[in-house]
Amino acid sequence: MSAATTRVFVPVDAAALSVGAEAVACAIAAEAAARGLCVDIVRTGSRGMLWLEPLVEVEVAGRRIAYGPVAAGDVAALFDGDFLAGGAHPLHLGPTDALAWMPRQERFTFARVGVTDPLSLADYRAQGGLAGLTRALAMAPAEIVEAVRASGLRGRGGAGFPTGIKWKTVLAAEAERKYIVCNADEGDSGTFADRMLMEGDPFVLIEGMAIAAVAVGATQGYIYVRSEYPHAARTLRRAIVAAERGGVLGASVLGSPHAFRLEVRVGAGAYICGEETSLLESLEGKRAIVRAKPPLPALAGLFGQPTVVNNVLSLASVPWILAHGAEAYAGVGMGRSRGTMPVQLAGNVRRGGLIELAFGVSLRTLVEGFGGGTLTGRPVRAVQVGGPLGAYLPEHLLDTPLDYEALAAVGGMLGHGGIVVFDDRVDMAHQARFAFAFCAKESCGKCTPCRIGAVRGAETMDRIIAGEDRPANIDVLRDLSHLMTDASLCAMGGLTPMPVMSALTHFPEDFDPPALSAAAE
Amino acid sequence: MGGYAPWNADVAQQLVARLSGLEGAMLPVLHALQEEFGYIDSAAVPLIADALNVSRAEVHGAITFYDDFREGPPPARIIKLCRAEACQALGCESLVAELARSRGIVVDQHGAADLVVETVYCLGNCALGPAALVGDQLIGRLDAPRLMALCDGAAPARVQELPPGAAGRAAP
């Protein structure tokens, strides 16, 4: 034990664990013990370069040197190559902050993810945490709300509604009890930013919710996490305990007169709970049936009380805004999309992961530049942006900038910022059918256009795929899509036509029976 | 997975009583019962209804609305296989076909089998798909041999022990 202790960082993020990070951490501990070397293994979130996971970092002269992807079987050779001193090895990647993905990003919300120990409040403070909440406590509630409004922050869950306006409504509402509800029911395929944030820096979400509570006068908060995220729920629960012990949560938020208590609630496998009113029903202990609006949740939300319902990323952006100022946040981005967006690159992509960038970057830069094209090496045929209710965009629309309005202008939506890449083997008629089938499976059943329309849509797609009276069935498809868009109660039925119609518009050849039968031969 | 306590009304009563003071206690209560017994016994319905001051229909309604809640004892082993778009882009449907072809396993078919493979829509591992969840263990870059090993009862962690340097690099 003569040598100085070397800090080694191994992610505890679920994606890193899914490819063996736990075994790697164990192997490093065992190998160090066998060689009589002192290592301090710090478990962190993921840096977001998921194709490099498990990504192991070693602190050498104050700088982190990355190795990856590391398998447990590589560990002995890493020690042989003196990786504790940043030594050479085929998996040596160089300083983490200089890796191709990192310098080009603007990490506001994800500044600490992959850097700090997610459960160390001391680490959090040392890296700038709680500066936003401290500042907020010195401001009047209306000033906090105005700062959030002036930052231009819009709901990152998908709808893009200005967060400050929502808060203002709740602040103005008079009630005995108000709530802050975090929508962590991240059900969209291709999205994992909420999960990575909750696992990698839970305190920033807790701080954001505390700021919201102080701003609108709420005393109780809930984080509604989907049950498919057991790691995130566990991390949040531990972080809440640490925050209570550290005086961030409880009867007095950081010594102020504000009380704020926070609790994790776990969903039960219903995609619809990502819709805010259905999430509130679920939190109240009911079947998650969508509510008609009005009344807005801001006025009559959880248990009928004024409630802020925000996505994880919206709430987690607030500490940065308060700490650095609304102008600094609004100073990046394009058009009416201000600040940064954590983009998630997923599906058939060579380099997948999370990239936080100012709005305005093109899909092509993301998919081809950051992503390096498809994992299979085949041409990109389609990307689905914004989850299962988002549009399928063809290659020629990849120059569209990442921006709420620009994506809407090409018939798509940003959603929660997920981009799923498909190669040239994708069958878009089958993807369209899946969109309906998914809606049929996950519809809450309250409104007819969604409940019945989704089933009829899947049946119609079956006929089109089978080559039955294609022109007439495509007319039915269009008519049904119009109806679902116009008449559904919420985005589930209202947006299911988006992937369907975008597939039909951009890939009509896949809806053409001769082409299908030719492909089958 | 497995290792659940057999249904016991007294234990259930205690669990319900412990949680019934929570705001919106229904889901926490249902989760707690399922974690204890592996499913929610029909005998729990009146207990919950009494404790939460709701009708039995409302309890039944909640249990049946959410996919997670089971009304009968679970199979010994459950593999949740993601079949959402990002995993589709990496061929999860070929894994479904392979299960049927080589093992005769029909996804989502619950019978007397010890093993059930269930569809799940998104596990948040969309950059490292295809993905599956076994217990609380997430598995990335799933391929047919590893899925078959999981079906044979291999521990997920052991399945993750790949040859040197192979982690995260396997192409579908």
Pair A340, A307 in one domain: no
Surface-to-core class of residue A154, CB atoms within 10 Å of its CB (0-12 exposed, 13-18 middle, 19+ buried): buried
Bigger pLDDT: B153 or A344?
Answer: A344
Pair A385, A438 in one domain: no
Task: Check residue A3 and give its pLDDT.
Answer: 59
ipTM of the complex: 0.94
Task: Check residue B111 and give its pLDDT.
Answer: 76
Q: How far apart are CA A27 and CA A29, in angstroms?
A: 5
Give Cβ neighbours of residue A486 (< 8 Å, ≥ 6 apart): none
Token digits of residue A290: 């969508």
A50 contacts on B by Cβ (under 8 Å): 127-128, 168
Pair A208, A302 in one domain: yes
Q: Which of B31, B65, B139, B143 to mutate to test the interface with A (most CBs of A within 10 A)?
A: B65
Amino acid found at B166: A
Give Cβ neighbours of residue A191 (< 8 Å, ≥ 6 apart): A344, A346, A387, A415, A416, A417, A418, B122, B124, B126
Pair A410, A469 in one domain: no
CB A154 within 8 A of CB A160: yes
Task: Check residue B154 and give its pLDDT.
Answer: 81
* Contact map slice: B 103-142 vs A, CB within 8 A: 120-129, 131, 133, 136-141
Task: Provide the mean pLDDT of chain B.
Answer: 90
Token digits of residue A514: 């001769």
The answer to whether position A109 is within a domain reads no
The answer to whether position A108 is within a domain reads no
- Are A282 and B137 in contact (CB < 8 Å)? no
For A29-33, B77-81, B143-147, B165-169, which range has the lowest pLDDT when averaged over its residues? B165-169
CB A374 within 8 A of CB A190: no
Number of domains present in the structure of chain A: 4
Q: In 3-state terms, what secondary structure has residue A498?
A: helix
Task: Check residue A4 and give its pLDDT.
Answer: 80
Q: How many CA atoms lie within 13 A of B123 on its CB side?
A: 34
Asked which of A330, A362, A379 is the last residue of a domain, the reply is A330
- Are A19 and B160 in contact (CB < 8 Å)? yes
Q: How far apart are CA A22 and CA B157, in angstroms?
A: 8
- Are A14 and B138 in contact (CB < 8 Å)? yes
What's the per-residue H, E or C state across A266-280? Answer: ECCCCHHHHCHHHHH
Q: Which of A51, A55, A179, A228 to mutate to test the interface with B (most CBs of B within 10 A)?
A: A228
- How many CB atoms are located within 10 Å of the residue B146 CB? 20
Minimal CA–CA distance to A210: which of A99, A136, A320?
Answer: A136
The pTM of this model reads 0.95
Give Cβ neighbours of residue A38 (< 8 Å, ≥ 6 apart): A1, A3, A4, A5, A6, A32
Enumerate residue ranges in chain A where pLDDT < 50: 1-2, 515-521
Pair A300, A353 in one domain: no
A19 contacts on B by Cβ (under 8 Å): 128, 140-141, 160, 167-168
Which domains are assigned to chain B?
9-65 (no CATH), 77-161 (3.40.30.10)
Minimal CA–CA distance to A343: which of A315, A304, A382, A383?
Answer: A383
- Are A191 and B124 in contact (CB < 8 Å)? yes
The domain of A131 spans 121-330
**Residue pLDDT, tens place only, A121-173:** 999 999 999 999 999 999 999 999 999 999 999 999 888 899 999 999 999 99
Surface-to-core class of residue B90, CB atoms within 10 Å of its CB (0-12 exposed, 13-18 middle, 19+ buried): buried
Token digits of residue A61: 């002269």
Pair A177, A281 in one domain: yes
Stated as kind and residue range, the H or E segment containing A149 is helix A141-151
Distance from CA of A139 to the nearest CA of B (A): 31
